[in-house]
Amino acid sequence: MLAVDGRVVMISGASRGIGAAVARRLAAAGYRLSLGVRDAARAPVQPGEDCLVTRYDARERDAAQAWVASTVERYGRVDALVNNAGIAPMSTIEDDDETILDDLWLVNVKAPLRVIRAALPHLKASGAGRIVNVASLSGKRVPNPNNGYAMSKFALVALTHSARRLGWKHGIRATALCPGFVATDLTAGVSSVDRADMIDPQDLAELVACLLALPNNAAIAELLVNMRYEDTL
């Protein structure tokens, strides 16, 4: 397992849900954090010597570059990314208005691409860079009419494999974390599944901590996490 040893982890969408759980778990493990959030007041870990909180809006073209720059200015390095920020509004094949589809593509695909692109030189320099893209089981199959969301998460899985391929010789290991229903505010409106049966964000945080700690010769390309049995998976 890799020693924490001052390693710096950037986490997007860290103010709530999965991102907040990951931030708390990694802070407890001793990582130095750079949290990308839209509202700094909602950061789950208080800013301090080992926690930088930066305003980051996934919809803004230059946000990734600015966030990475502030992280490097503070710590002098970037060792890992957890691309967690995401949205899940409904967008079906029959929708002629593509506004929602464009927004899904911007936040769920282009934003993590931009963060990876901006951080790549620093991840290469680390020699043991890690990328965890929080995708979804909707990136592995299409279980409902939300075609736009599924398309974006399929694309995020593809981005993960692209980053894994590009970064392999530099020691970068990338993983697509693909959970089913998670008990966060993103699934607050879901009525088809009992909330008590949904995945606890803290359990996903444990998995992220494990992925970041695995050595270069124990890489996991995709990690599927389900709350129920599905024969398609």
The pLDDT value recorded for residue 109 is 98
**Which segments in the chain show pLDDT lower than 70?**
none
The pLDDT value recorded for residue 189 is 79
Q: In what order do the strands lie in the sheet with 130-134?
A: 51-55, 32-37, 8-12, 80-83, 130-134, 173-179, 222-225
Catalytic residue numbers? 149
Report how far apart the first and last C-alpha atoms of the chain are (Å, whole number).
29
Domains of the chain in sequence order: 8-225 (3.40.50.720)
Helices (H) and strands (E) in the chain, counts: 6, 7
Helices 17-29 and 201-213, packing angle to 10 deg: 50
Global confidence as pTM: 0.96
Q: Give residue-wise pLDDT tens across range 150-204.
A: 999 999 999 999 999 999 999 999 999 999 999 988 887 787 888 999 999 999 9
The pLDDT value recorded for residue 182 is 96
- Distance between CA atoms of residues 219 and 122, nearest Å: 19
The pLDDT value recorded for residue 133 is 98
